[in-house]
Amino acid sequence: MPRDPRYDILFEPVRIGPVTAPNRFYQTAHATGFGWQRPQSGAALRGVKAEGGWGVVCTEYCSIHPSSDDSPYAFLTLWDDDDIAPLAQTADAIHAHGSLAGIELWHGGAHASNRMTRLPGVAPDVQPALYHLPATARAMDLADIRAFRGWQRDAALRAKRAGFDIVYVYAGHDYLPFQFLSRRTNHRGDAYGGPLENRVRLLREMIEDTKEAVGDTCAVAVRLAVDELHGPEGITSEGEGREIIEMLAELPDLWDVNVAGALGNDSRSARFSPEGFQEENVAFVKSLTTKPVVSVGRFTSPDRMVAQIKRGVQDFIGAARPSIADPFLPAKIRDGREDEIRECIGCNICRAANNEGVGLRCTQNPTMGEEWRRGWHPERIAVYPRREKALVIGGGPAGLEAALTLGRRGLEVALAEAGDAFGGRLLREATLPGLATWMRVRDWRLHMIGKLPNVEMFPASRMGAADIAEFGAYHVVLATGSGWRRDGVGVYAIRPLSLPEALTPDDVFAGSPVTGPVVIYDDEHYFMAGALAEKLAAQGHEVHYVTTAALASSWTVLTNEQDFLQARLITAGVAIHPLKALTAQGKDEVRLACVYTGREEAMPCGTLVLCTGRLPETALSGDLAARGIAAVRIGDCLAPSSIADAVHSAHRYARLLGEPDLPPRRERAPERSL
Ligand code: ADP
Ligand code: SF4
C-alpha cells in the first residue's frame, strides 16, 4: 500500500551536523541487558531496528573509563582499543540498512558501582556511591577533571573508528556531567562549582573536546535532562534547564532532551504517565536552538508523531520502548500499514530485563532480544511445510499469540474461547487503574488474525475432551490459563492454609461483595495486589495492604514503578503493613505474623483478598490424557507468569513447531575483528 501523504513529513531527511538522518525516526539510547558481554546479541538487535526503518539507531550507555563500571548490569565499554571491534559489529549492522549509528558515551560518576573494576567512584564532591554502599565516590580535583576530559575524547575517537556517526555527550539521568550541573550534587568552590556558568563549564568543555576529536565526520549530540523533577532546588525546565540550553544552544549538533531525577522518571510506565508525557518539560528547547531536537514519550500513533513535528516540539520522533515493541514501526507507516503497528503497552517489562541483568524482553514483541540468540525475526517466520489443522483452546494472550503465529506459518487454525470475548486475563486486568493499554496485547493480535484467511475464531465455545476429539485437529494446543489460589501459598508462605471465607482477585472481578475493612494480602509481589488496593480504595473502601515483602508490589522495583505506586497508595489512604505473613482468618479479623520474629497480631477484617499466586488450569489436559489425545500446554496453563512470558511461551511453541528445540546460542568470542 502506498504511504498516507499525511505521514510524508516523518520521512524527510534531517541534517545533524556533518551527517544526515534518512528520516525522522530516532531510536534513542536504551538498555538491552547485553552490553559488552554480549556484543553479537546487541548488534543483531540494533540491526533489526535499522531494518525496520529507524533512521537513527543508538546504543545503550557506553562507559568511557573503568571508573564508570555498572556491573552487574549490562553496559558497553570503550575503555581501550580492544573494545572497538565488538562495537563495530553494531555500527555495521545499523549501516547495512542505511541508518545512522549513535553511541551514548557514559560516565556514571557517583552512580557507578565499580563492583568489577573496584576503583573508587569519582564525583564533583565526596558523595555516597548510591548503588554500592557503603562505598563513597571521591571528589575530583582539577587533574581528575583534565583526565576525565581525556577519557571522553579517547572514547569518542574509538567510537569514530568503530564507525559511529553520532557521538554523545551524556549529561542526563544523574550521571557525572549532570552531577556537575546540579546544585544538589555540586558544592564545589572552584571554577567548576557555584554559579551556573561554572557548573556548566565541564559540559561545555566536553562538547568542545568531542567536536574537536571527531566533529569533522561525526555529529556530536548532547543528552540533557532539562528537568530533574526535584522542584526549585534542582534543575527545572523553567529555571536552570532553560538557562543551560540558552548558554550552549548552538554548540552541539543535536539536543536529546528529557526529564531525569531517576531513570524511572524518564521511562515511566503507562500506569503513571500517558503518551507524550515529557512534552510539558521539554517543549521549550526548540525555541532556543536552531539545532535538531529529539525527545521521547512512548509515541506509537503516527498522527501524534506528525503533530509533534508540526507543532515544533521536536524534529525527530525519539523512541525507545515503541521501537522495542515494534522494530518495524517506521516501515509500517512507510508502507501504508500503520494499522499493523504493535503498540507498546507501557508495562516496563523491558526495563525489568536490564534491572535483572538479563537480555531484553518485551510483552508485545516476543522476538525482542532473541534476534541473535535464537535467530528470531519480528516480521519473518518460516512457513510450516504441511497445511495441518491446529486447534488452540483459550483466547488469552497465549492462545491469541499461538493462533496468530501458527496462522502466519500457514497452518489451518481454529481458536476456541469459552467466553463471549477474547482476551483472557486481559479482560480483567486491563480494567485495573492505569492498565487499559494492556488491552493492546489482545487488540493487535485480533487485528492481525483478522487478516489471515486460515485462522477461524470461535468465541463462546467451551471445549471439553469430547469436543476436542470430535474436532479432530492434528495439533491440540491448550492455552486455558490459570486461576488465583485460595490456600494462601505464595512466595514467602509456602504452607497451605484453610481460608474458606477469603476471596481471590478472580472473585473480586466476578463481582463478589466486598465489605470493609478490606485486607489485601500480597505474597506474590507483582502488580495485582497494588492495583486492586488502588481500585478498592477509589471505590471508598478502607483498605489495608499486608505484604510479606518490605515494599508494596515489591517486584515493581524492577519495572521502575514501585516508588510511584507506593506514593499513590499512601496518597489514596491505603494503610501499608509490610513484612507480615497471614496465618489465619477468624470472624471479622485476620491473624498476621511478623516475618522475622513470628510475633502474632490480629487485624480487623471484613473481606480478605488473597494475592499469593496462581495455579495452572490443567483439568482439560488431564481429561485429554485419559482419552489418549496428545496436547501441548502453553502460557499460564503450563506455568502461570507475566503476560510477557505467556506470549513468549506461545510464540516459542508455534515458531518451533516442526523445528529442533535447540538451546539458545550463548556469546563466546567476537566473530569479527578489525
Ligand atoms: P494466558 O495468559 O496463558 O493466555 P488466560 O488466563 O489469559 O491465559 O486465558 C485463558 C483463556 O482460556 C480464558 O479466556 C478462558 O476463558 C479460556 N478457556 C479456559 N478453559 C477453556 C476451555 N475448556 N475451552 C475454551 N476456552 C477455555
Ligand atoms: Fe512497551 Fe512493555 Fe514492550 Fe517495554 S515491555 S516495550 S513497555 S510493551
Q: How far is the CA of 561 from the centre of ligand 2 (A)?
A: 13
Neighbour-count burial of 383, counting CB atoms closer than 10 A to its CB (0-12 exposed, 13-18 middle, 19+ buried): exposed
In the chain, the percentage of residues whose pLDDT exceeds 90 is 89
Check residue 527 and report its DSSP letter: H
How confident is the model over 184-198, as a mean pLDDT?
A: 96
Counting from 1 in the atom list of ligand 1, the atom nearest the Cα of 635 is: 3
Q: Is the CB of 417 under 6 A from ligand 1?
A: yes
Predicted pLDDT at 357: 87
- Identify which ligand lies nearest to the alpha carbon of 642: 1
Q: Name the residue among 58, 45, 46 with its Cα closest to residue 16.
A: 58
Predicted pLDDT at 261: 66
- Identify which ligand lies nearest to the alpha carbon of 653: 1
> How many whole angstroms from its chain centre is CA 365?
11
Predicted pLDDT at 276: 82
Mean pLDDT of the chain: 95
- Identify which ligand lies nearest to the alpha carbon of 368: 2
Best residue among 468, 480, 632, 647 to mutate for probing ligand 1, ranked by most atoms within 8 Å of CB: 480
Q: How far is the CA of 617 from the centre of ligand 1 (A)?
A: 8
Q: Is the CB of 505 under 6 A from ligand 1?
A: no
pLDDT digits (tens, 9 = 90+) for 25-44: 999 999 999 999 999 999 99
Q: Is 60 exceeded by the pLDDT of residue 670?
A: no
pLDDT digits (tens, 9 = 90+) for 457-498: 999 999 999 999 999 989 999 999 999 999 999 999 889 999
- Identify which ligand lies nearest to the alpha carbon of 319: 2
Three state DSSP letters for 400-438: HHHHHHHHHCCCEEEEECCCCCCCCCHHHHCCCCCCHHH
Q: Is the CB of 359 under 6 A from ligand 1?
A: no
Q: Is 90 exceeded by the pLDDT of residue 84?
A: yes
Q: Is the CB of 419 under 6 A from ligand 1?
A: yes
Q: Is the CB of 416 under 6 A from ligand 1?
A: yes
How confident is the model over 496-508, as a mean pLDDT?
A: 96
Q: Do the Cβ atoms of 649 and 634 come closer than 8 Å?
A: yes
| Measured distance CA(55)–CA(641) in Å, rounded | 36
Counting from 1 in the atom list of ligand 1, the atom nearest the Cα of 398 is: 4
Q: How far is the CA of 184 from the centre of ligand 1 (A)?
A: 52
pLDDT digits (tens, 9 = 90+) for 100-135: 999 999 999 999 999 999 999 999 999 998 878 889
pLDDT digits (tens, 9 = 90+) for 600-658: 999 999 999 999 999 999 999 999 999 999 999 999 999 999 999 999 999 999 999 99
Q: Which residues pair with 590 in a beta bridge?
A: 585, 603
Best residue among 27, 342, 344, 429 to mutate for probing ligand 2, ranked by most atoms within 8 Å of CB: 344
Q: Is the CB of 478 under 6 A from ligand 1?
A: no
Q: Is 80 exceeded by the pLDDT of residue 263?
A: no
Q: How far is the CA of 48 from the centre of ligand 2 (A)?
A: 17
Counting from 1 in the atom list of ligand 1, the atom nearest the Cα of 426 is: 7
Omega cis (within 30) before 505: no
| Measured distance CA(301)–CA(288) in Å, rounded | 27
Q: pLDDT class for 222, splitting at 50, 70, 90?
A: very high
Check residue 391 and report its DSSP letter: E
Predicted pLDDT at 89: 97
Q: Is the CB of 427 under 6 A from ligand 1?
A: no
Going along 24-143, which residue ranges are E strands?
Answer: 25-27, 56-63, 76-77, 100-106, 122-123, 127-128, 136-139
Predicted pLDDT at 228: 87
Best residue among 300, 347, 351, 356 to mutate for probing ligand 2, ranked by most atoms within 8 Å of CB: 347
Conformation bin of residue 663: beta by default, left when phi > 0, alpha when psi is -120 to 50: beta
- Report residues whose beta carbon is within 6 angstroms of any ligand 2 atom: 321, 324-325, 344-350, 362-364
270, 273, 339, 654 from 304: Cα distances, Å: 16, 16, 14, 34
- Protein residue closest via CA to atom 3 of ligand 2: 362
Q: Is 60 exceeded by the pLDDT of residue 287?
A: yes
Q: pLDDT class for 669, splitting at 50, 70, 90?
A: low
Residue 11 identity (one-letter amino acid): F
How confident is the model over 578-600, as a mean pLDDT?
A: 97
Cite the active site residues: 175
Q: How far is the CA of 398 from the centre of ligand 2 (A)?
A: 17
Q: Is 70 exceeded by the pLDDT of residue 444?
A: yes
Q: pLDDT class for 672, splitting at 50, 70, 90?
A: low
Domains belonging to the chain, first-starting first, are 5-356 (3.20.20.70), 389-480+618-623+639-656 (3.40.50.720), 484-615 (3.50.50.60)
Best residue among 417, 442, 458, 506 to mutate for probing ligand 1, ranked by most atoms within 8 Å of CB: 417
Cell of 383: 512457513
Q: Do the Cβ atoms of 147 and 199 come closer than 8 Å?
A: no
pLDDT digits (tens, 9 = 90+) for 196-219: 999 999 999 999 999 999 999 999
Q: pLDDT class for 362, splitting at 50, 70, 90?
A: very high
Q: How far is the CA of 646 from the centre of ligand 1 (A)?
A: 12
Q: Is 70 exceeded by the pLDDT of residue 673?
A: no
Question: Which residues fall within 8 angstroms of residue 624, CB to CB, at 6 or more apart?
Answer: 465, 468, 476, 478, 630, 631
